[in-house]
Amino acid sequence: MDSQGIIAQFFKKTWLAYVISIVLHGLANLVHVQFPRVLGEFTDQLQLKQLTWEGIVQAGWALLLIGVCFTVLGGIAQYLVMYTGRYFEFMNRRRLYHHFLDLSERFYANHGVGKLLSYFMNDVTAVRESISQGINQTANATMLLISTITMLLMSNVPLYLVMICIVPLLLIPVIVVWIGPIIKRRSMKVQEALSAMTASAEEQFAGIRVTKTFAVESIMNERFGETVDTIRNRQLRLVRMSSLFQATIPFLGSLSLIVAMVYGGYLTLQGTITLGSFVALTLYVRMLMTPLQQLGNVINVVQRARASLERLNALLAEKKEIVQLEDAKELPLDNMSIELRGLSFSYEELAAEEEVNDEERSYAGNRHMALRNIALSIPAGTTLGIIGRTGSGKTTLMKLLLRLYDPPPNTIFYGGQDIRELKLSSLRENIGYVPQDGFLFSTTIRENIAFSKRDIEQEEVIEAAKQAKIYDNIMEFPKRFDTTLGERGITLSGGQRQRTSLARGMIKKAPLLILDDSVSAVDSITEAEILHNLAKQRKGRTTIIIANRVSALKQADQIIVLDQGTIVQQGKHEQLVQQEGLYRTLYELQEEGTRNGTRDS
């Protein structure tokens, strides 16, 4: 999307409001520029001693009428633009959120939440301000400029005097061209610093417990202070430039006024122009200063907003990494067998498709492979167990099965169909995935469990809670299933959170269920009960269980052992414990641990 993208779409919807507002601004200013004319005529009549009491009252009413009309028309025009500006925020925050939902796992792995919040808050607001203020003030200032100059030319003031008075104003475009880009650059730096601060604040709040338990408040305070200092320094640099710019424009206006006073005064003394013309001239030149100041302000704000607009457009131009084919197919639910053929994967993006130099190419060749040449068949309705050291690629394999990252073509098949040819919604709706760190939303327990099926019967929610062995805990909470979690409610323990998340996965009764180390935080007895319930519920359905404890995998139809992204052992529990290797080592260590634990107690 080009940099006009956001703005063009917005004006397409709101142009009428802006047209009305500009017309109203025009009318308001046409009325406003009558002010010097009325005063000029008043002065002439006063000097010629032709002024009567009725004349004074009439001039008073005329000025009052001018003031009221200007206020009402200008006020409505301003309201319209401000109102529409708020609509800009609403429209684009929704649009950004929609776009965020489309972005890939890789994008989120590389961008902190704080940074993304900054787009929502700071950048959208900066653009909105520039649109609202920009349009209001530009419309107002342009109309006032045009009408003031027209009135000046139509007045009795000689043309050469008008031309001499406005010479200093001709310097304005030169200054705009010089300072404008500097303001934009400095603004971009401020937005980046704000973004860094939001990201840092988000991280600091998320890690506040670690900070406190390690008693490193002062270090974190200093670290956060640095981000705030950066903002201050950059903002000061921006403010210095903006102020210089904004002060220069009225200064040039004042120069015009000085020329009008000195030269106009001289011509009045000489009798070349009347006193009324002199008053009108000085008032008109004074009147020119307001629109000039407004235009200076607009240019300032617009330059700042351009920096934000560029950031927003760059974000909106961020492409979806996972793309669904036009003729994508449904997941073959009648055959949920899974086949992995020579699957290798690295998180580092493929540089080969882009123009790269030799050094980068050799780096691409040496990419760290999270998975290497995985070949595996999981017949429909069976249970696969996966075990392996930390960082061996277990979660990566699951993310590829969900197509959160794109696997290479012809490497993952569901029922004989390449995963890349399947509809994303069909794939993900039919897979229940219980991740390691079961994130729960700040809503009720019921809504967390029934996350994918909001209108499901309460009995099913209860059944899922019982199967995941969280039911008894829930019944102890004051509002049971209606208990609110998170910020506004209670905090669950790690084990309770994990089991609630497990219930959320189990209630889906999906053709494929993946448990990614989902029972690690429960004791062995509860683990055995959960696995028993799971085996009953999942009979005839494909299930993948990743675990660090051998005990969780004993019943699996087949088990694979991953090490550094490769399958190093494969078979049933009974076979693997007979073989020399990682599985037996883990088994023996864990059995010994259990025996020691039992003896000690």
Ligand X SMILES: Nc1ncnc2c1ncn2[C@@H]1O[C@H](COP(=O)(O)OP(=O)(O)OP(=O)(O)O)[C@@H](O)[C@H]1O
> Can you list the positions of beta strands (E) in 506-593?
512-516, 542-546, 558-563, 566-571
For ligand X, the closer of residues 111 and 584 by Cβ is: 111
For residue 429, give Cα distances in angstroms to 84, 423, 465, 518. Answer: 39, 10, 20, 19
- Distance in Å, CB of 525 to ligand X, minimum: 23
Does position 393 interact with ligand X (CB under 6 A)? The reply is yes
Q: Which of 260, 30, 320, 292 is nearest to 137 (CA)?
A: 292
Which 294-353 positions form the footprint of ligand X (CB under 6 A)?
347
* Cα 305 to the center of its chain, rounded Å: 16
Q: CA-to-CA distance for 579 and 582, rounded, in angstroms?
A: 9
139 vs 370 by CB, closer to ligand X? 370
Q: Which window, 164-172, 244-252, 375-383, 393-401, contacts ligand X (CB under 6 A)?
A: 393-401
* Residue 567 in the binding site for ligand X (CB under 6 A): no
438 belongs to the binding site for ligand X (CB under 6 A): no
User: Does residue 601 touch ligand X according to CB under 6 A?
Assistant: no
509-to-453, 543, 597 alpha-carbon distances in Å: 11, 11, 36
Question: With binding defined as CB under 6 A, does residue 370 bind ligand X?
Answer: yes
**Contacts with 202 (C-beta within 8 Å, 6 or more apart), sequence order:** 112, 113, 114, 117
Question: Minimum CB separation from ligand X for residue 9, in Å?
Answer: 33
- Is 403 a binding residue for ligand X by CB under 6 A? The answer is no
Q: Single out the residue of 138, 200, 392, 498 in contact with ligand X (rule: CB under 6 A).
A: 392
| Min dist. Cβ of residue 565 to ligand X (A) | 7
CB 551, min distance to ligand X, A: 16
Of the pair 393, 511, the CB lying nearest ligand X is at 393
Q: Does residue 33 touch ligand X according to CB under 6 A?
A: no
Residues between 74 and 133 with contacts to ligand X, criterion CB under 6 A? 109
Select from 396, 467, 498, 569 the one that contacts ligand X (CB under 6 A): 396
Q: Which residue has the tokens 């197509």?
A: 403
- Interface with ligand X, residue 8, by CB under 6 A: no
Q: Which of 114, 264, 385, 388 binds ligand X (CB under 6 A)?
A: 388
Burial of 10 per CB tally in 10 Å (0-12, 13-18, 19+): buried
Q: How far is the CB of 230 from ligand X (least distance, A)?
A: 27
Task: Give the footprint of ligand X on residues 546-565 (CB under 6 A).
Answer: none
Q: Is 394 in the site for ligand X (CB under 6 A)?
A: yes
For residue 260, the one-letter residue type is: A
Residues composing the chain: 601
HEC profile for 463-531? Answer: HHHHHCCCHHHHHHCCCHHHCEEHHHCECCCHHHHHHHHHHHHHCCCCCEEEEECCCCCCCHHHHHHHH
Nearer to ligand X, 426 or 566 (CB): 566
Using CB under 6 A as the binding rule, whether residue 432 contacts ligand X is answered as no
52 is an interface residue for ligand X by CB under 6 A: no
**Residue 100, SS3 per DSSP:** helix
Helix (H, G, I), strand (E, B) or coil at 409: coil
The rounded distance, in Å, linking the Cα atoms of 122 and 139 is 25
- For ligand X, which stretch binds (CB under 6 A), given 38-46, 181-189, 223-231, 386-394? 386-394
The residues that touch ligand X, with contacts defined as CB under 6 A, are 109, 347, 370, 388, 390-396
